């Protein structure tokens, strides 16, 4: 009946035997075997290996374990035998057959061999195939052969295959690809472009120019790409159209390629590519609008230019090798302009490792103009991307058009905002106005029929917030910006009548609501308005300079419209049926194609102009004032600086006739690149030809249309050459303005030209009156007709030498050698600030850039760069860590006796009782340090103190931080310590019998690099055992990291170094000071609180903290009011009441308290922002206060909303102990991964760093102790632990001490749950590293992972550093003959990138426990990862005996993260190593 034919059941099989792609097997007492047959439809020659995962209480055997195929459609069978160990339970898992085709995409660079020019793509491809494994399928492995952007290819490879490839002649480099992100019409008329006149007329609207767009595809049927009025494409065009309908490509859209899915059409399924293409060069389309708004004719900037789409992105994500393939094809096809609205987050590789920079250099070299988006990382400085000087780097600004929606208040005030939803029937009756704060959660009864004020702090999108308001019955929404977004508003189409208003206007509305008990409002919708006098303003998201790849080039170059840009859209929005689909988008990815359109107009008008000439014309004619004739403003409506606007706002019409241009030929970039201290090979990789850096120039010397100049002590002179393209006979006079604190001289002051294309040069001499400050201004050359303006930015400048063959016996000889590098006519004694002897061989000096250039020619010179600024990362701890007098580790180590801790900080108060020398021994005989106080101020506790900030003055601590950190590490016992009567007891450091040496290298919280280096150099010379570095600066590569370089020298001499991880949490990738020879310390809480409990009228209590503990505060319930950010309070609203205030950066916690007090408030409940979670501070406020965590704060807010008469009070309960959540990680503690070396798990450890009571140098109201928080507090605490271990085990190396601390750390809190982060969720390994320090267990770790200094050499080589860069770090000549992956270093933790094939890493442990001992391994955690350890047992027969084991990791999911632990256990010891497995390719 089922099969519709006669069947006789002569044979049968069990159900599970059917050749089905899955298995469902009943459990039986005996083993069961099932057969499956598979057919090969993949690669003809292939091998598959089996793996079984999951399936607890079941034994599964598969035979055979390997299936080999030699042809397509070949069949092979295997058997699965299942034996159930438990017949009652269920079990599940997977059988996986994996072939070697699951490989990674590598981008391979090869040498450019000028003697072997391959005539065809086929020859090139064959040569590229010669680099692949002999037995591989070449056709499927090579993804793309690059011919133009550089010489090389993208291919699917294993790491082993790459290692083999490295041996072949012609190989340069290979690395896994990265993933980039897209940076996401009134604009032409706003820019002064009109039909048949001006630049559109002069350029024929871009006729004959081809714009190549790299994006996510295109909608070929959109009317913006009709070819009415279009000429045929130029004869040079060689591109392809990969749509299957011939009419889809035409004379407008002349090419379309798909590099994302090679067998599919390059259709835009996301919209971004269609939008950018029409922005650059869309044809005229009448009746374009956005829900009836912004109505008119849509047109691109260059409507007669041709468009070629290169689909390299899939939605937001763009794989690097596909971007390069698109670039390569665009060059080959013959485009004139390339638009790339793509970047790689905040990751800024050097130019030789930035494939967009390399690929676009090749484009520029062939005369192609490249426009790139600056990125959407603003308003933080240093976020600008795509900063190569041959690229036009474009920021985003507003136009003068708004889709207006006005908030009208009951007091008559009106505040204009924006919304794309413009209902015609919205009532103008004033409605009740309520504050929904972030509007994530509220009751219908609270908002029904009302206007809801929402802030934009929610994690929800604007559309989601609007839906919530609508769903709960709200009549409308006023969405106010957070402070960072300033005045930037968006014309989005919302689900409910809405206006988005600026931050300042939002504060006014908030103040109005506080001023009356019956606030009312409505929204007036006024449609499309033109003429905003503030325009253009810079969008808040537009990324800012300086460009970290090359600070001598001012970036961004230009800003252009990038907010609320109406352009083509491939799909219907909002359920519309019309085919005329347009959408409004914002981002620098909108302004980038717009500038590409401007470049196309200029290219059409001036076909002989080079890319640099076009760029110069755009930059030197830009506008720097707005429509109101004020300086262009940023999102705060304050004048924007040059790091925000670059040269200014594009003015296309003026760019068509610039008068003079700054031209640059491709070969001019070579000395610039050499001046970046790149190696010959690195420069050659960029320019695709062999380069020997025989000459170089400073970055600021490049003939660029703008200036970015580092300050130096002596005058600096830079030369520029301009080309006359205005009037043949013309005269230009120079004028300089701005530039406070700078003397600027220009010679000559007049440039006279007699012919077109004539070149003339001038010299600009800059003398800084203040070498620490910033300054900016303009240089303008003016003729009768032209004004050529160049912006100039002057910003605040350690010398590395090769180790000499001879060793200098004294400092005087070394200084004389260092002086030999200075100019012969200089005053050597005043110019050299410090000669470094130990951290590296070199010196710090005041030099000009010309003097550095001369110095580079001298034998022994390695590198020189300007100075930088670092920042400080700014007692119950010993007992919380299990340290008690006369027992345990304090007893075993004599409390740190004989150990010297050197602290780099802001000085010290030598008279503080924490530095008394009662019970202290004399310092060790090795001590060679100095005391720069009066003699009586140093003693047997404080044995040394130096001042490198103000030499000759006492190293007094005027700031407090250095005194606090010194006493945290090693303060002596002081009875009666307290903070305003709280946390009372005996204050004592972690190592109370250790000696302290202070090296004052910081003035306040700012610490100069050269002073830090001096401090570490002297500390090494003096004979310290431990160094504390409580500050850091980002995460540069180690060869450019002064702390990494100097602490390597310290470690090499047996000195342990403890550094703070930074206070940039909870964001990932923020950890700093991550060199593997450093202990990198995060911050956690203790179990002590200075308790202040918020008590509500409904009986609920929420414990917070405050050091202000008034004894007479009334327990009577008082009215409770919501002051929100408490920036402006009305006395009548808050007098006598408890005020809720939300944490914000401005005003500070203290200022909020002062404002509540001044307004008559009785008390304050301070509520954390979401990112701060449960981290609260025991601050001393001026008003009775409780600071509560975010979750508790939301409960209190909900209570206030639930009743018309909310009441509350604060109960002050003094110092309490026993918080079972402790230790938790503080919100500010920086998180991994460590970006310069992700194969090392950082931070290493966490330790107490919140509300730590210690000595204070600035007594206030009699308080000589103070509470501070930060990783700069946990860092000296761990240094104290290291001092105890060094005293107990004087033969242990720094790596052994570090290993002991890490492998014995705690991973559970006081209530036996996993340690939590600030959200009270289990913290991951990138947050806690190995866990929370346990000093007593660290004293007896059983096994240690030791590392000798020379073991770091192959690790550094494995980072692909050059020999010179590694030599700079280790202060000796190094040749990288061997290298290891980062994860192979003998580190106590594992951080392993996922790969498709198994990876094996070796570790060696040293027995420091019992001579005769046996350890068994156990692995737990690590979902989706198979981990095998061999051997599984380590047996020792002697102390200090070493044994090695291998860890093999196989990832079942190469895209996921996993974490767990490897534990070696003996009868007495448990040695735990965390293991983090992460995806090899990650989006930054």
- Just list the catalytic residues: 215, 272, 589, 905, 961, 1272
Instruction: List strand residue ranges (DSSP E) for 1085-1127, in order.
Output: 1089-1096, 1101-1105, 1118-1122
Query: What residues contact residue 1360 under an 8 Å CB cut-off, 6+ apart?
Result: 173, 175
Alpha carbons within 13 angstroms on the beta-carbon side of residue 680 total 7
Q: Cα(360)–Cα(40) distance, rounded to whole angstroms?
A: 42
Q: Where are the alpha helices (DSSP H) in 531-655?
A: 588-605, 611-620, 642-645, 652-655
| C-alpha closest to that of 67 among 108, 92, 36 | 36
Q: Which residue has the tokens 């390695």?
A: 862
Buried b (16+ CB within 10 A) or exposed e, 1300-1331: bbbbbbbbebeeeeebbbbbeeebbbbbbbbb
Q: Cα(1228)–Cα(1176) distance, rounded to whole angstroms?
A: 11
Q: Cα(1307)–Cα(98) distance, rounded to whole angstroms?
A: 36
Contact 1161, 1129 (CB under 8 A): yes
For 459, which DSSP code?
S
Query: What residues contact residue 252 under an 8 Å CB cut-off, 6+ apart?
Result: 225, 226, 227, 230, 281, 283, 306, 307
Number of H helices, E strands in the chain: 34, 75
Find the helix or strand (DSSP H, E) in which 96 lies: strand 93-99
What is the DSSP annotation of 1374-1428?
Answer: ---S----GGGS--SSEEEE--SS-EEEEEEEEE-S-SSEEEEEEEEE-TTEEEE
- Phi and psi torsions of 389, nearest 5°: -70, -15
- Strand-strand pairing, 1458-1465 and 1470-1478: antiparallel
Q: Cα(1390)–Cα(1076) distance, rounded to whole angstroms?
A: 12
Q: Cα(69)–Cα(39) distance, rounded to whole angstroms?
A: 9
- Strand-strand pairing, 565-568 and 582-585: antiparallel
The residues that bridge with 1478 in the sheet, in sequence order, are: 1393
Q: Which residue has the tokens 């031209």?
A: 663
- Phi and psi torsions of 1463, nearest 5°: -125, 125
Structure tokens of 512?
């109005």
The residues that bridge with 1442 in the sheet, in sequence order, are: 1406
| C-alpha closest to that of 585 among 330, 268, 842, 822 | 268
Q: Cα(545)–Cα(645) distance, rounded to whole angstroms?
A: 9
Q: Report the 10 Å Cβ neighbour count for 235.
A: 7
Q: Cα(427)–Cα(523) distance, rounded to whole angstroms?
A: 8
- Phi and psi torsions of 1437, nearest 5°: -120, -5
Q: Cα(1108)–Cα(1154) distance, rounded to whole angstroms?
A: 13
The residues that bridge with 1006 in the sheet, in sequence order, are: 871, 1003
Q: Which residue has the tokens 């030699």?
A: 70
Angstrom CA distances, 1217 to 845, 1213, 1223, stand at 52, 11, 12
């Amino acid at each position: 009946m089922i099969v519709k034919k006669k069947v006789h059941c002569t044979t049968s099989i069990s159900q599970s035997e059917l050749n089905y792609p899955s298995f469902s097997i009943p459990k039986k007492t005996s083993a069961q075997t099932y057969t499956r047959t598979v057919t090969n439809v993949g690669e003809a020659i292939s091998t598959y290996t089996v793996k079984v995962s999951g399936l607890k209480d079941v034994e599964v055997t598969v035979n055979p374990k390997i299936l080999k195929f030699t042809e397509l459609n070949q069949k092979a069978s295997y058997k699965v035998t299942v034996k159930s160990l438990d017949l009652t339970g269920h079990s599940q898992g997977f059988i996986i057959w994996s072939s070697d085709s699951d490989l990674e995409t590598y981008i391979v660079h090869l040498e450019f061999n000028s003697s072997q020019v391959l005539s065809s793509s086929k020859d090139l491809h064959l040569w590229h195939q010669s680099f692949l494994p002999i037995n591989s399928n070449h056709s499927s492995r090579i993804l793309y052969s690059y011919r133009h952007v550089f010489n090389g290819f993208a291919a699917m490879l294993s790491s082993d295959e790459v290692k083999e490839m490295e041996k072949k002649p012609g190989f340069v480099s290979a690395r896994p690809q990265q993933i980039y992100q897209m940076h996401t019409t009134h604009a032409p008329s706003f820019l002064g472009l009109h039909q048949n006149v001006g630049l559109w007329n002069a350029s024929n609207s871009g006729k004959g120019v081809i714009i190549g767009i790299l994006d996510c595809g295109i909608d070929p049927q959109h009317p913006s790409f009709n070819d009415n009025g279009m000429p045929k494409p130029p004869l040079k065009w060689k591109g392809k159209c990969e749509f299957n309908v011939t009419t889809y490509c035409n004379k407008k859209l002349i090419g379309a390629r798909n590099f994302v899915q090679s067998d599919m059409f390059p259709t835009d399924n996301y919209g971004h590519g269609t939008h950018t293409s029409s922005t650059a060069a869309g044809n005229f389309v009448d009746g374009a609008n956005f829900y009836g708004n912004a109505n008119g004719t849509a047109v691109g900037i260059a409507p007669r230019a041709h468009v070629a789409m290169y689909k390299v992105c899939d939605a937001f994500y763009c794989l690097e090798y596909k971007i390069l393939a698109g670039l390569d094809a665009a060059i080959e096809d013959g485009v004139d302009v390339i638009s790339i609205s793509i970047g790689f987050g905040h990751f800024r590789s050097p130019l030789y490792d930035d494939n967009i920079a390399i690929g676009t250099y090749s484009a520029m070299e062939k005369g192609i103009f490249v426009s790139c988006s600056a990125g959407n990382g603003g308003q933080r400085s240093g976020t600008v991307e795509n900063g190569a000087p041959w690229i036009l780097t474009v920021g985003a600004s507003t136009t003068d058009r708004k889709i207006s929606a006005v908030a009208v208040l009951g007091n008559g005030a009106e505040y204009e905002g924006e919304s794309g939803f413009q209902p015609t029937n919205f009532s103008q009756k004033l409605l009740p106005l309520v504050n929904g704060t972030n509007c994530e959660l509220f009751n219908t009864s609270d908002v029904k029929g009302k206007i809801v004020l929402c802030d934009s702090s929610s994690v929800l999108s604007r559309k989601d917030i609007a839906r919530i308001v609508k769903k709960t019955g709200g009549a409308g929404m006023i969405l106010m910006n957070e402070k960072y977004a300033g005045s930037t508003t968006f014309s989005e189409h919302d689900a409910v009548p809405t206006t988005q208003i600026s931050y300042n206007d939002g504060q006014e509305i908030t103040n109005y609501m506080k001023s009356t008990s019956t606030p009312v409002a409505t929204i007036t919708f006024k449609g499309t308005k033109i003429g905003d006098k503030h325009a253009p303003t810079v969008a808040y998201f537009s990324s800012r300079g300086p460009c970290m790849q090359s600070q001598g080039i001012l970036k961004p170059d230009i800003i252009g419209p990038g907010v609320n840009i109406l352009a083509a859209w491939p799909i219907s929005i909002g359920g519309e049926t019309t085919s005329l689909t347009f959408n409004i988008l914002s981002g620098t990815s909108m302004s980038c194609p717009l500038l590409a359109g401007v470049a196309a107009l200029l290219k059409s008008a001036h076909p002989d102009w080079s890319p640099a000439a076009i760029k110069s014309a755009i930059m030197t004619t830009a506008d720097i004032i707005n429509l109101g004739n004020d300086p262009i403003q940023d999102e705060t409506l304050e004048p924007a600086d040059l790091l925000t606007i670059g040269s200014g706002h594009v003015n296309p019409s003026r760019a068509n006739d610039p008068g003079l241009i700054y031209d640059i030929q491709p070969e001019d970039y070579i000395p610039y690149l050499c001046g970046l201290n790149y190696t010959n090979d690195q420069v050659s990789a960029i320019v695709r030809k062999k380069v020997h850096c025989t000459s170089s120039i400073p970055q600021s010397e490049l003939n660029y249309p703008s200036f970015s100049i580092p300050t130096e002590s002596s005058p600096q002179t830079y030369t520029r050459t301009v080309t006359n393209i205005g009037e043949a006979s013309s005269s230009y006079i120079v004028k300089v303005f701005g530039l406070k604190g700078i003397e600027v001289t220009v010679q000559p002051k007049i440039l006279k030209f007699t012919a077109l294309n004539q070149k003339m040069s001038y010299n600009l001499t800059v003398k800084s009156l203040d070498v620490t400050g910033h300054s900016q201004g303009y240089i303008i050359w003016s003729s009768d007709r032209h004004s050529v303006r160049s912006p100039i930015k002057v910003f605040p400048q350690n010398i590395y030498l090769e180790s000499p063959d001879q060793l200098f016996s004294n400092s005087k000889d070394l200084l004389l050698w260092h002086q030999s590098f200075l100019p012969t006519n200089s005053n050597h004694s005043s110019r050299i600030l410090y000669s470094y002897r130990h951290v590296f061989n070199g010196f710090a000096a005041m030099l000009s850039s010309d003097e550095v250039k001369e110095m580079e020619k001298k034998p022994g010179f390695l590198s020189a760069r300007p100075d930088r600024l670092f920042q400080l990362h700014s007692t119950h701890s010993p007992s919380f860590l299990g340290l008690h007098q006369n027992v345990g580790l304090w007893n075993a180590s004599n409390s740190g006796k004989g150990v010297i801790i050197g602290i780099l900080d802001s000085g010290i108060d030598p008279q503080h009782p924490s530095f008394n020398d009662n019970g202290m021994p004399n310092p060790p005989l090795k001590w060679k340090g100095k005391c720069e106080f009066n003699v009586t101020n140093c003693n047997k506790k404080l044995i040394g103190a130096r001042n490198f900030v103000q030499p000759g003055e006492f190293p007094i601590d005027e700031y407090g931080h250095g005194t606090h950190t010194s006493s945290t590490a090693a303060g002596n016992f002081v009875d009666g310590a307290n903070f305003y009567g709280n946390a009372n007891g005996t204050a004592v450091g972690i190592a109370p019998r250790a000696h302290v040496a202070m090296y004052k290298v910081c003035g306040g919280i700012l610490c100069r690099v050269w002073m830090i280096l001096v401090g570490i150099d002297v500390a090494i010379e003096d004979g310290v055992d431990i160094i504390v570095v409580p500050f850091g600066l980002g995460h540069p590569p180690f060869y450019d990291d002064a702390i990494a370089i100097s602490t390597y020298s310290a470690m090499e001499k047996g000195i342990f170094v403890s550094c703070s991880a930074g206070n940039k949490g909870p964001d990932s990738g923020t950890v700093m000071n991550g060199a593997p020879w450093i202990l990198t310390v995060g911050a956690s809480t203790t179990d002590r609180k200075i308790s202040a409990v918020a008590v509500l009228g409904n009986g609920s209590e929420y414990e917070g903290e405050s050091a202000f503990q008034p004894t007479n505060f009334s327990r009577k319930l008082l009215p409770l009011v919501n002051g929100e950010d408490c920036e402006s309070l009305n006395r009548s609203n808050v007098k006598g009441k408890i005020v809720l205030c939300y944490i914000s950066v401005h005003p500070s916690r203290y200022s909020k308290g002062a404002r509540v007090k001044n307004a008559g408030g009785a008390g304050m409940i301070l509520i954390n922002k979401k990112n701060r979670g449960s981290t609260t501070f025991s601050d001393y406020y001026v008003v009775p206060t409780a600071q509560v965590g975010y979750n508790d704060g939301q409960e209190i807010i909900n209570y206030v909303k639930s009743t018309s008469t909310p009441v509350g009070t604060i109960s002050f309960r003094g110092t309490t102990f026993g918080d079972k959540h402790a230790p938790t990680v503080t919100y500010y503690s920086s998180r991994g991964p460590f970006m310069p070396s992700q194969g090392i798990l950082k931070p290493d450890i966490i330790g107490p760093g919140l509300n730590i009571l210690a000595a204070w140098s600035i007594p206030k109201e009699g308080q000589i102790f103070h509470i501070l928080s930060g990783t700069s507090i946990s860092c000296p605490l761990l240094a104290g632990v290291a001092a105890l271990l060094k005293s107990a085990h004087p033969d242990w190396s720094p790596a052994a001490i570090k290993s002991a601390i890490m492998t014995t750390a705690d991973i559970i809190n006081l209530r036996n749950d996993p340690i939590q982060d600030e959200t009270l969720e289990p913290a991951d390994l990138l947050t806690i590293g190995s866990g929370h320090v346990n000093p007593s267990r660290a004293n007896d770790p059983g096994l240690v992972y030791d590392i000798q200094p020379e073991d770091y050499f192959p690790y550094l080589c494995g980072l692909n550093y050059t020999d010179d860069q590694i030599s700079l770090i280790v202060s000796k000549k190094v040749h990288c003959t061997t290298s290891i992956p980062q994860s192979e270093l003998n580190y106590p933790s594992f951080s392993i990138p996922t790969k498709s094939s198994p990876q094996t890493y070796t570790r060696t442990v040293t027995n420091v426990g019992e001579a005769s001992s046996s350890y068994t391994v156990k692995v737990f955690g690590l979902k989706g990862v198979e981990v095998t350890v061999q051997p599984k047992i380590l047996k020792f027969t002697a102390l200090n005996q070493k044994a090695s084991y291998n860890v093999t990791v196989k990832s079942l999911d190469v895209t996921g993260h996993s974490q767990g632990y490897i534990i070696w256990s003996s009868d007495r010891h448990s040695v735990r190593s965390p293991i983090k497995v992460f995806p090899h390719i990650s989006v930054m």
